[in-house]
A and B are shown apart, each in its own frame.
Chain A
Amino acid sequence: EPEVTQTPSHQVTQMGQEVILRCVPISNHLYFYWYRQILGQKVEFLVSFYNNEISEKSEIFDDQFSVERPDGSNFTLKIRSTKLEDSAMYFCASTSSTGASGANVLTFGAGSRLTVL
Chain B
Amino acid sequence: RKEVEQDPGPFNVPEGATVAFNCTYSNSASQSFFWYRQDCRKEPKLLMSVYSSGNEDGRFTAQLNRASQYISLLIRDSKLSDSATYLCVVNIGYGQNFVFGPGTRLSVLP
Contact = CB atoms under 8 A, between A and B. Distances in A.
B13 interface: no
Given A31-B95, A97-B94, A43 B100 contact: yes
Contacts of B102: 41-42
B45 interface: yes
Interface residues of B, number: 24
Contact of B95 (A48, A91, A99, A105): A48
Nearest to A44: B100
Contacts, number: 59
Interface stretch (A14-22, A50-58, A73-81): A50-58
A45 B95 contact: no
A55 B95 contact: yes
Nearest to B2: A42
B34 interface: yes
B9 interface: no
Q: How many residues of A sit at the interface, in one of the four size bands? A: 20 to 34
Interface in A1-55: 31, 33, 35, 41-45, 48, 50, 55
Given A33-B98, A108-B44, 18 more contacts: A31-B94, A41-B102, A42-B100, A42-B103, A43-B44, A43-B100, A44-B100, A45-B100, A48-B97, A55-B96, A97-B95, A104-B91, A105-B34, A105-B46, A107-B46, A110-B42, A110-B43, A111-B43
